[in-house]
């Protein structure tokens, strides 16, 4: 679904020189707190598994090792993606989209005059930006319910509408 142009455009020279959005995950724990929680969980699991093994149930220790492996894999995945983000910068002559996902970084420049913002057809889909045959999907770190609002805000900024005008 394409957004329609705003009703009251403002001349580009009267807009702020730069608009910026940083879309990132909301990580409640700091890296140090996450590491402490992980180590505490591993220590507790190892204590329980060892206690059962010493009392004649060595199979519990095997399942504890499997559990610790699964928790370690989940922790590594979480740690790798905790700093994922998208940075969208609107300059007078360019719309710059920088994306970080794990160890992968990407940067795309679009012409703000020719960029169209396409709303997601379904809540699980991402916002799409199109300009001169180039297409970029953004909003992966946003909750699904916030994507449409962000798309409208970005579209208004691209068309030169200030919030509260019109």
Each residue's pLDDT, cut to its tens digit, for the chain (166 residues) gives 545 445 555 455 555 578 999 999 888 888 889 899 999 999 999 999 999 999 999 999 999 999 999 999 999 998 888 889 999 999 999 999 999 998 899 999 999 999 999 988 888 899 999 999 999 999 999 999 999 899 999 999 998 865 544 3
How many residues are recorded in the chain?
Answer: 166
Determine the Cα–Cα distance for residues 21 and 150; give it in Å rounded to an integer: 9
How distant is the alpha carbon of residue 33 from its chain centre? 21
**Cβ atoms of 158 and 129 closer than 8 Å:** no
Q: Could you tell me if 58 and 101 lie in one domain?
A: no
Domain harbouring 106, CATH code: 2.30.29.30
pLDDT of residue 71: 94
Q: Could you tell me if 69 and 149 lie in one domain?
A: no
Question: Quick one: CA dihedral 145, 146, 147, 151, positive or negative?
Answer: positive
pTM of structure: 0.71
Strand order in the sheet with 95-101: 19-24, 85-90, 95-101, 104-110
Residue 108 counted as domain residue: yes
Q: Could you tell me if 62 and 144 lie in one domain?
A: no
Residue 75 counted as domain residue: yes
């Amino acid at each position: 679904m394409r957004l329609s142009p705003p009703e009251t455009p403002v001349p580009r020279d009267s807009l702020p020189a730069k608009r910026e959005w940083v879309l990132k995950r909301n990580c409640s724990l700091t890296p140090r707190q996450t590491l402490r929680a992980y180590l505490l969980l591993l220590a507790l699991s190892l204590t329980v598994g060892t206690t059962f093994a010493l009392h004649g149930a060595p199979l519990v220790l095997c399942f504890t090792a499997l559990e610790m492996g699964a928790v370690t894999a989940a922790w590594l995945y979480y740690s790798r993606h905790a700093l994922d983000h998208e940075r969208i910068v609107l300059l007078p002559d360019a719309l710059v989209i920088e994306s970080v996902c794990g160890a992968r970084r990407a940067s795309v420049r679009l012409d703000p005059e020719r960029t169209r913002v396409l709303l997601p057809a379904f809540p699980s889909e991402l916002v799409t930006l199109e300009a001169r045959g180039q297409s970029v999907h953004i909003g992966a770190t946003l909750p699904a319910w916030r994507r449409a609002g962000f798309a409208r805000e970005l579209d208004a900024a691209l068309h030169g509408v200030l919030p509260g005008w019109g």
